[in-house]
Amino acid sequence: MNFQLSEEHEMIRQAARDFAQQELLPGVIERDKHEKFPAEQIKAMGELGFMGMMVQPEYGGGGMDTISYVLAMEEISKIDASASVVMSVNNSLVCWGLEKFGTEEQKQKYLVPLASGQIIGAFCLSEPEAGSDATSQRTTAIDKGDHYLLNGTKNWITNGNSASVYLVMAQTDVEKKHRGINCLIVEKGMPGFIVGKKEDKMGIRGSDTHSLMFTDVKVPKENRLGEDGFGFTFAMKVLSGGRIGIASQALGIAAGAYELALKYSKERKAFGKTISEHQAIAFKLADMATRIEAARNLVLKAAWLKDQGQNFDKESAMAKLYASEVAMWVTVEAVQIHGGYGYVKEYHVERLMRDAKITQIYEGTSEIQRVVISRMLLSE
């Protein structure tokens, strides 16, 4: 057992912290207010190596471990969860999926620009009638010999408009149910592919979430990821890793809100002393810090297991379940500690509270994480 981060890990954390403070903090309130995608900031994150952290350098990535990734995700998420969801989807759903399951040609063509931050990717599983029940795919990919004919609609797609490459799950053989689903690499601009309306969201308003429409889109056979019928297993495996990313995002949102509440409580005076000296507030801070530390340990354990090449499905679901519940609870308490100031945009905590909610929903709701965890416990 070693709870000490390496010098390299500390440096990565510091680099992410500095970047978040210097480049993401200015304008974060405005971007949230006007739903402005952080395009310049994401470009800079790509140049610094944050968009393909775990990809091997030969494919344009940073060649780092998952621990480094979650440390960076926590720091970026403390300041701007809209930027960190772009980072999470690109790193853990798109790049990791392509590196692990893509052909050499697919890696050269798509992974290299994605990992080096030249372009952004999207992961397209959810549909109007298939959210938690992800096997019920209505989008179809009919086998036409040298290509698939793609038809259907995807919903709530992160990076929906800003992406250039989309990993799209679609049903090829209905008889085979989830074993007849394929994952196709779709490029923006392929005829018949239309980016639909942008969602007007409660939180992570700087990120662009869209519906996507596919009408007779011809996708070459060489753009299928893995063997015929591998698409659903691909989505599940990739999401298991993705959940570590969202868990670290939730952790960052919680830690960011806690740091603001701690600072405020030491400055704000009431009844002749700082509010931190009132036990009502001091105990809140103690509970917030304890839960955040527990969430951090779950996140690091899941990341460590992944780095060791061990199964991490249960631990990533536990990390995501717990960290997202902590994020929601801590951000509500942070608003409470700020009182009236917490309810206005200038103090950041109300945004963090709105951003926290999505971490209990995307990449598998809290209820789905409990399904995953309990099934694994009962089969052990």
Residue 372: CB minimum distance to ligand CAA, A = 6
Residue 70: CB minimum distance to ligand CAA, A = 16
CA dihedral (84, 87, 91, 93) positive or negative: positive
- 3-state per-residue secondary structure call for 108-167: HHHHHHHHCCCCCEEEECCECCECCCCCCCCCEEEECCCEEEEEEEEEEEECCCCCCEEE
Q: Please count the CA atoms within 13 angstroms of the CA of 380 that sit on its side-chain side.
A: 9
Residue 126: CB minimum distance to ligand CAA, A = 5
Binding mask 220-249 for ligand CAA (x = CB under 6 A): ------------xx--xx-xx---------
Among 99, 313, 315, 355, binds ligand CAA (CB under 6 A): 313
Separation of alpha carbons 164 and 36, rounded Å: 18
Tell me: does residue 158 bind ligand CAA (CB under 6 A): yes
Distances from the Cα of 216 to the Cα of 142, 155, 191, 225, 279, angstroms: 10, 18, 8, 19, 64
Nearer to ligand CAA, 245 or 342 (CB): 245
Alpha carbon 9 to chain centroid distance?
Answer: 20
Pull the structure tokens for residue 284: 């809140």
CB 99 within 8 Å of CB 59: yes
Nearer to ligand CAA, 232 or 258 (CB): 232
Tell me: does residue 316 bind ligand CAA (CB under 6 A): no
Nearer to ligand CAA, 126 or 324 (CB): 126
Pull the structure tokens for residue 150: 């793609």
Pull the structure tokens for residue 224: 């299928």
Nearer to ligand CAA, 212 or 326 (CB): 212
Among 178, 188, 278, 301, binds ligand CAA (CB under 6 A): 178
Tell me: does residue 256 bind ligand CAA (CB under 6 A): no
Binding mask 4-43 for ligand CAA (x = CB under 6 A): ----------------------------------------
Separation of alpha carbons 115 and 50, rounded Å: 9
Nearer to ligand CAA, 162 or 240 (CB): 240
Separation of alpha carbons 333 and 349, rounded Å: 9
Residue 77: CB minimum distance to ligand CAA, A = 13
Residue 316: CB minimum distance to ligand CAA, A = 9
Residue 253: CB minimum distance to ligand CAA, A = 14
Tell me: does residue 132 bind ligand CAA (CB under 6 A): yes
What single-letter DSSP state applies at residue 203?
Answer: S
Distances from the Cα of 338 to the Cα of 21, 244, 247, 333, 343, angstroms: 21, 30, 25, 9, 8
Q: What residues contact 297, with CB distance under 8 A and at least 6 apart?
A: none
Tell me: does residue 302 bind ligand CAA (CB under 6 A): no
CB 171 within 8 Å of CB 141: yes
Amino acid 216 reads: D
Three-state DSSP class for residue 227:
coil
Nearer to ligand CAA, 62 or 245 (CB): 245
Among 218, 297, 371, 374, binds ligand CAA (CB under 6 A): 371
Is 58 annotated in the active site? no
Exactly one of 23, 74, 75, 363 is catalytic; which is it?
363
Q: Are strands 209-220 and 147-158 parallel, antiparallel or unpaired?
A: antiparallel
Span of 55-63, 70-78, 125-133, 211-219 interacting with ligand CAA by CB under 6 A: 125-133
What single-letter DSSP state applies at residue 183?
Answer: E
Nearer to ligand CAA, 285 or 368 (CB): 368
Binding site for ligand CAA (CB under 6 A): 85, 89, 123, 125-126, 132, 134-135, 158, 178-179, 232-233, 236-237, 239-240, 313, 362-364, 368, 371-372
List the catalytic residues.
363
